[in-house]
Chain A
Amino acid sequence: MLAVMFFAFIIQVVSRYFFNMPTGWTSELTVIMWLWLVLWGAAFVVREDEEIRFDLLYGSVRKGVQRVMVICTALVLIALFLISLPASWDYVTFMKIQSSAYLKIRFDWLFSIYIIFAVAVVCRYIWILARALGARWPGKKPHQTGPQA
C-alpha cells in the first residue's frame, strides 16, 4: 500500500509538471492508501513490541503484577470496543449514500477497514487475555533490545 502511495505521488508530480494534466485521482488514492495502511497495519502487521506505549511502570514491576496489568487493560479494551461495535457498524453502513470524488468508491467500502480493524484488535486482545490467564504466561520484555533493522 505504501508502494501504491509512493507511485501515485510520483505520477501526480510528473503529470502535473511535465504533461500539465489534472490528477485528482492520485491524491485520492494516496489518502485511501494511508487510511488503509494505518488501520490494516495496526490490525494485522504491527507486533506487540512495536506498539508505542509507556513502559516506565510496566518495566519496573514483578511478572505477577505485569500479568494483572495486562488482564485489566485487555478486559477494558475488549469490553469498550465490543460495546461500540454496533454503533460503528451503523455509521460505516450509513456511509453507502456517498462515494469518493474521483474513483467513485462507495464510502461504506472505503470505511469498512475500521470494522475489520476493530474486530481484529478485539480478537488479538482476547488471545492476549487468554495467554495472561493461562499457566504458561511468558511475561513480556519491558522494551525492545535494540534498533530495528
Chain B
Amino acid sequence: MSLTDPFTACILLLVTLAVLGLPVAYSMILASILYLLMAGLDMGTAAEQLLNSMYTSYTMLAVPLFILAAELMNSGSMTTRLTNFANALVGRFRGGLAQVNVLQSLLFAGMSGSALADAGGMGKMMMRMMTQDGKYTPSFAAALSAVTAVVAPILPPSIPMVIYALVSNASIGYLFLGGILPGLLISASQMLIVWWSARRNNFPTEEPVPVRELPRITLRALPALMLPVVLIVGLRGGVMTPTEAAAVAAAYALFVSVVIYRDVGLREFYTSLLNAARTTTSIGMLIAAALVFNYIVTIENIPNAIRSLLLSYDLTPLTFLLLVNVLLLLIGAVLEGSTIILIIVPVLIPTAAALGIDPIHFGVVVVFNVMIGLVTPPYGLLLFVVKRVSGASMGAILRDTVPFLLGLLVALMLITLIPDIVLFVPRLFGYSG
C-alpha cells in the first residue's frame, strides 16, 4: 500500500474529492480515470463502462418513470386527496402522518422492486405532505422516507432478488415468498419506532375528522388509491413486466389527473416532465459513476481477496452469517447494491453452501444487508436521494436516521438468527429446504 499504488491513490482521490464537496458522481469518475492512468490502462474504458452499463441497464428504467408518476401526482390534486384520506384515517393519532409514510412504502413495495424509485418518487410526495405547514422537520421527513423505502425490494417483486437468483441458482419464486415476513417485520418495527418517537418528541396530531365525512373523503381519493390495485392486477394478470409497471403508473397518474380530477393541463404536464428529468439526471449520474467504479473494483480482484480472507477462518454457519452481515454492511457503505450482489456475493455463496446454509435464507439476508447499505453513510444512495429531494442537510438527516437504522439492524439480527422467519412462507408453498 503506497501512494504509487493505483488502487490506493484511486480510493484516496475519491474520498478527498467527495469530502471537499465535489459532486459524488464526478468524484467516482475522476478516481476511476486516475486509476486507469496510473495502471497504464486504456482511459477510454471509463467512457466505455459508463456508456455500455447505462445502455444495458434495462431494469433501471423503472426509476425515472416512477419518479415521473410521483411528479404527476404532485402536480395535480392526487397528493392532497391522499393526504386528506390518510389524515381522516390515522391523523388523530400522534405522529399519524409519519405512520402513513410507513404504510405508503409497504403498499408501494408490493408493486415495485426498487427502493430508489420509492424514495425518489413516492418519498418526495410524502416529504411534501409531512413538511407543509411545518408539521415535521424536513430532515425527519427525509430520514423516514429513506428508511421506509428499504422495504421495496424485500417484498416481492424485487430487482435485487432477481439478481441474487441469477448468481446463486436459488428459486426466484421462493425467494420472493421468503421476503414477505421480513418485509412486514421491517414495516412493523418502523411503526413502533415512529410511535415511540412520536410520544417522545410530541409529534403533531391532526384535527380529528368526523366519521360521517369518511365516505366522501374516501370517494374523492379513490382513483388515487386505486393505483396500487391497477398495478398489482396488471402485474399478476401478465399485462406488463415490473419495469413497464413504472410507465403504467405514470400513465395512470396522468389519466386520473387530466380526465377525472381535471387539474393537470399541458403546462403542468410539461413542468412535471422537467422536474422528473432533473431528479432523474442527478440519480442517474450517481448510478452511472458507480458502474464505472465497479470496473476498478473488479479488475483489482477485490472479491478474490475477500474469498481467501474467509477461507482462512474456521467458521460455524452462525459466525459466518454474522461475519457476512458485518462485511456487507461495511461494503454497503461504499458500494452500490446490485454491484455487491453481482461481484461480492458470488464469492460468499460457495462457503455458505458448504456450511449448509439455506440458499433462500442466505439470499434474503444478503438482500436485506444490501438494502441497509442504502441508508448507511458515506455511500447511502437512498440518503442522497432524499437529501436531494428534501433539501435538508446531510448531518440532520443522519441524526434522524439513527433510531431507524438501529431498528433495521435488530430486524436483520432476528432474520439472521431465526431462519424460520424467512422460510415459513416458502414452506407453506411447498419449499423443501
Contacts and interface: CB of A to CB of B under 8 A. Distances in A.
Chains A, B in direct contact (C-beta < 8 Å): yes
B321 to A, nearest CB: 32
A91 B21 contact: no
A9 B58 contact: no
A66 B19 CA distance: 12
A84 B33 contact: yes
A57 B19 contact: yes
Contacts of B392: 143
A97 interface: no
A54 B16 CA distance: 11
Contacts of B46: 84, 88
A73 B280 CA distance: 24
Contact of B51 (A9, A46, A69, A114): A114
Interface in B27-82: 30, 33-34, 36-37, 42-48, 50-51, 54-58, 60-61, 64-65, 68
A147 B378 contact: no
Contact of A53 (B13, B23, B246): B23
Given A54-B378, A147-B390, A76 B17 contact: yes
A114 B65 CA distance: 23
A54 B68 contact: no
Contact of A147 (B48, B68, B128): B128
B281 A37 contact: yes
A35 B58 contact: no
A72 B286 contact: no
Contact of A54 (B18, B33, B277): B18
A135 interface: no
Nearest to A35: B54
Interface string A1-40: 1110110011011000100000000010011101101110
B394 A52 contact: no
Contact of B20 (A2, A69, A145): A69
Given A13-B247, A52-B286, A143 B24 contact: no
B165 to A, nearest CB: 22
A84 to B, nearest CB: 4
Contacts of A120: none
A56 to B, nearest CB: 6
A147 B124 CA distance: 9
Contacts of A13: 239-240, 244, 247-248
B131 A147 contact: yes
Contacts of B277: 1-2, 37, 41, 45
A34 B51 contact: no
Given A6-B247, A111-B47, A50 B282 contact: yes
A121 interface: yes
In terms of DSSP, what is the predominant structure of the interface of chain B?
Answer: helix
Nearest to A93: B44
B393 A87 contact: no
A147 B127 contact: yes
B284 interface: yes
Interface string A114-147: 1000100100000000000000000000111111
A59 B37 CA distance: 32
B288 interface: yes
Interface in A42-72: 42, 45-46, 50-59, 66, 69-70, 72
A52 B281 contact: no
B389 interface: yes
Which of B282, B283, B378: most chain A Cβ within 10 A?
B282
Interface of B: 13, 17-26, 30, 33-34, 36-37, 42-48, 50-51, 54-58, 60-61, 64-65, 68, 124, 127-128, 131, 138, 239-240, 244, 246-248, 250-251, 273, 275-278, 280-286, 288, 378, 384-385, 387-395
Given A41-B280, A91-B45, 16 more contacts: A9-B61, A12-B244, A17-B239, A31-B56, A34-B57, A34-B61, A35-B55, A38-B280, A38-B281, A52-B285, A53-B22, A76-B13, A76-B30, A88-B44, A118-B47, A148-B278
18 contacts: A9-B65, A12-B247, A17-B240, A34-B54, A38-B280, A42-B25, A42-B285, A46-B278, A50-B388, A52-B285, A52-B387, A66-B21, A70-B21, A80-B34, A88-B43, A88-B44, A114-B51, A147-B127
